[in-house]
Amino acid sequence: MARILCGVVAGVVALALGGQVALASDLPPETTFPIDEPVTVETAGDRGGDWAVTVYGGLVSENKFSRLLFTPWDAEVDEDTPWLGLSLSKRMWTWGEDIAFELEGGAGYRFGDEKTGEFWGALYTRYDGFFWNDTIYTTIAGSTGLNYATRVSPFERNKRDGGAKLLHYFAPEITFADPDDKNLELVVRLHHRSGVFGLFDGVSSGTNTVTLGLRKRFNTW
């Protein structure tokens, strides 16, 4: 009897194991799901080269800075005082998707009656998050820095506070480029040096120059 019971138990176990093996072998192969491709977000650091050379020219204006900033097309300029400038800049940092910080150094010269050279160094903050950038790539930027003139020009000296060689440099600009070639930009800049309401040697006035130029960006130096 014991032998019969042992045989029955062994048969049941064998059937159970056989069933499990069969069930396992009948399972469909493991299904794999495709992994989505990573989404590339275009940031300010990806938009054109980090380095840039800008060449621009313009005319000195007697209008107030606030008027020129909002209605530059109404500028009253001195055609006898042309200005020409050149600058080198480098994108140093980016913040989020739309903001970049650039360092710039430049030199300019006022011709005609002014005959004054200028040198400046500035930190620019640039924004390029406009919704129409797929049609025309647009950026706006503003600076803070120092501007040194080789002399106090007649234009500045004739103002009520006499002028100074070293003044603050604030030069807002707007740029336009082909979305497929962001390394070549059209630049409209309001080249502005002033005493910031008397902060520099008691000077409250300064010089405004409406300029137009071209900027070439590149990634190697």
| Cβ-proximal residues to 100 (8 Å cutoff; 6+ apart), any chain | 44, 45, 47, 91, 93, 94, 125, 126, 128
116: nearest Cα among 4, 1, 209: 209
94 burial level (CB within 10 Å; 0-12, 13-18, 19+): middle
Contact criterion met (CB below 8 Å) for 182 and 137: yes
The whole model's pTM is what? 0.75
Contact criterion met (CB below 8 Å) for 177 and 136: yes
C-beta atoms surrounding 107 within 10 Å: 14
Domain ranges of the chain: 49-218
Output the pLDDT for position 30: 56
Output the pLDDT for position 36: 55
CATH number of 49-218: 2.40.160.20
Output the pLDDT for position 160: 60
Output the pLDDT for position 117: 95
User: What is the Cα–Cα distance from 59 to 212, expressed in whole angstroms?
Assistant: 10
Q: What is the mean pLDDT, run by run of 10 residues, along the chain of 221 residues? A: 41 42 48 50 68 95 74 74 96 94 97 91 97 96 96 76 86 96 96 83 82 94 63
User: What is the Cα–Cα distance from 80 to 75, expressed in whole angstroms?
Assistant: 15
